[in-house]
Amino acid sequence: MSTAATEVDSYTEAFTAQAEAFGTALATYRGTNLAADPALIGKVESLFGAYVTIAQEELLPVGERNASAEWSAVRTAKVTPLMKELDADQAELDAVETADAAKNANAAAAGYRSGRTTSIVVMVVGAVLALGLGVLVARRIVASLLKVKDVCDALAAGDLTRHSGVSSRDEPGRMAQALDTAVDNLRRTVHTIDGSATSLAGAAEQMTSTSMQIAESAQEASTQAQAVSTAAEEVSRSVETVSAGGEEMGASIREISQNAAEAARVAAEAVSITGARQVQRRQAGRHPVLAGAAAAAHRRGQPDPLGRRAPGRRTQRAQRALLAERREPYAVPGPERRAGHGAHRPRGLAGCPR
């Protein structure tokens, strides 16, 4: 109770705010998982509403008039019984919620213990299963690797017929399949090389036979070349002989030309000398003394006083020597004549004097 207007207004606003807060809290409580009876909650809500009504309609106006006796009478008659009943209902709600909280706590503890046990069991079982699965996987991997090792050992020993037979999709299986493929390819390659080697051996034999034939042909060609060389040497010697004969014929022709010129000169001199002697003879024939001297000198074999040479053996020898000198350029030495030197002379000179 207060007589000041400001205090009355402040108290009224505070009461209204508390009433609204109680209503909001009660509405929130209704929205949760209720453990108490909804009828009890409705009763509490109605009792609190009745209290708010009494306070707003009776207590607050009486307090503004500062009528303490009346205010006490209203509180004792109406508010106190209502508040006792409301307190009892709230105590019941607290007991229900406490019991529900304890129940939830026990359930949570039991759930924790159960979850912990379950987790431990699951972990143990999982570990056992993981260990067993690991052992199984390891055994499969080791088995695949052992098969791959066997194939590798056989391959190292030169056996290309082994296969691992692993068909799994894991890494060792793929490795084994790749190894099988490589061994198959290598086996086909070796077979191909074997066939090629056989063909190469046959070709080598044919090549050896061909080489022998080529060697024989080369020997024959060498023999023929030697024969051709010998014939070429003979031809060369014949050509040299013909060349020498040609040179001799050229020299003979030049000598003949010189001899002809010399003969012409000698003939001219002889004609001149003969003419002079004939003149002398004619003159001597006319002079008796000279004619007698010439006849006497001729009988004694002395020179003619007129310069004439007496015919005789010496004159005949001189004529033969002159004839031999004229024939000498055409003469062929004895060995060349015996070797058939005349066979190499041109036909045009066949009629030349020898």
Among 76, 102, 130, the domain boundary falls at 130
Residue 96 near residue 34, CB atoms below 8 Å? no
Task: Let me know: does 309 contact 294? Beta carbons within 8 Å.
Answer: no
| Residue 212 within any structural domain of the chain | no
How many Å apart are CA 29 and CA 35, to the nearest integer? 10
The last residue of one of the domains, among 130, 162, 191, is 130
Residues 282-300 have a mean pLDDT of 55
- The per-residue pLDDT for 347 is 42
Q: For residue 43, tell me if it sits in a domain.
A: yes
The answer to whether the CB of 46 falls within 8 A of the CB of 103 is no
Confidence (pLDDT) at 354 = 39
Tell me whether residue 18 is in a domain.
yes
Name the phi and psi angles at 228, rounded to 5.
-65, -40
**Burial class of residue 64 (count of CB atoms within 10 Å of its CB; 0-12, 13-18, 19+):** middle
The CA distance from 272 to 269, in Å, is 5
Angle at 120 between CA 119 and CA 126, to 5 degrees: 85
Q: Is residue 348 in some structural domain?
A: no
Residues 151/163, Cβ–Cβ less than 8 Å: yes
In which band, very low, low, confident or very high, does the pLDDT at 130 lie, cut at 50, 70 and 90? Answer: very high
What is the chain's Cα-based Rg?
84
For residue 159, count other CB atoms closer than 10 A to its CB. 12
| 209-220 pLDDT, tens digit each | 888 888 888 888
Cα dihedral sign, 154-160-163-169 = positive
Same domain, 125 and 230: no
Q: What is the residue type of 84? A: K
In a domain, 338, yes or no: no
Name residue 264's amino acid. Answer: A
**What type of residue is 239?**
V
- What pLDDT, on a 0 to 100 scale, did the predictor assign at position 350? 39
- Helices of type H across the chain: 5-31, 38-54, 60-65, 68-74, 80-156, 171-286, 288-300, 313-327, 334-338
pLDDT beyond 80 at 300: no
The better pLDDT of the pair 14, 347 is held by 14
Distances in whole angstroms, Cα of residue 27 to Cα of each of 18, 32, 56, 129, 179? 14, 9, 22, 53, 77
- pLDDT at 155 exceeding the cut of 80: yes
Tell me the three state secondary structure of residue 170.
coil
Which percentage of the chain shows pLDDT scores above 70?
A: 75
Q: Are 1 and 66 spatial neighbours (Cβ–Cβ below 8 Å)? A: yes
| pLDDT of 321 | 67
Same structural domain, 238 and 123: no
Q: Is residue 124 included in any domain, yes or no? A: yes
Question: Average of pLDDT values for 41-57?
Answer: 84
pLDDT of residue 338: 44
Cα separation, 310 vs 299, in Å, equals 9
Q: Of the candidates 130, 151, 166, which is a domain's last residue?
A: 130
Cα–Cα distance for residue pair 173/158, rounded to 1 Å: 23
In a domain, 239, yes or no: yes
- Measured at the CA of 254, the angle between CA 251 and CA 260, to 5 degrees, comes to 140
pLDDT tens digits for range 334-349? 444 444 444 444 444 3
What does the alpha-carbon distance between residue 97 and residue 228 come to, in Å, rounded to a whole number? Answer: 141
Q: From CA 109, how far away is CA 303, in angstroms rounded?
A: 193
Range of the domain at 310: 224-331
Q: Are the CB atoms for 329 and 339 separated by under 8 Å? A: no
String of b and e for 234-266 (b: at least 16 CB within 10 Å)? Answer: eeeeeeebeeebeebbeebeeeeeebeeeeeee
Query: Average pLDDT in the 44-52 region?
Result: 84
Asked whether residue 229 is domain-assigned, the answer is: yes
| Domains in the chain, number | 2
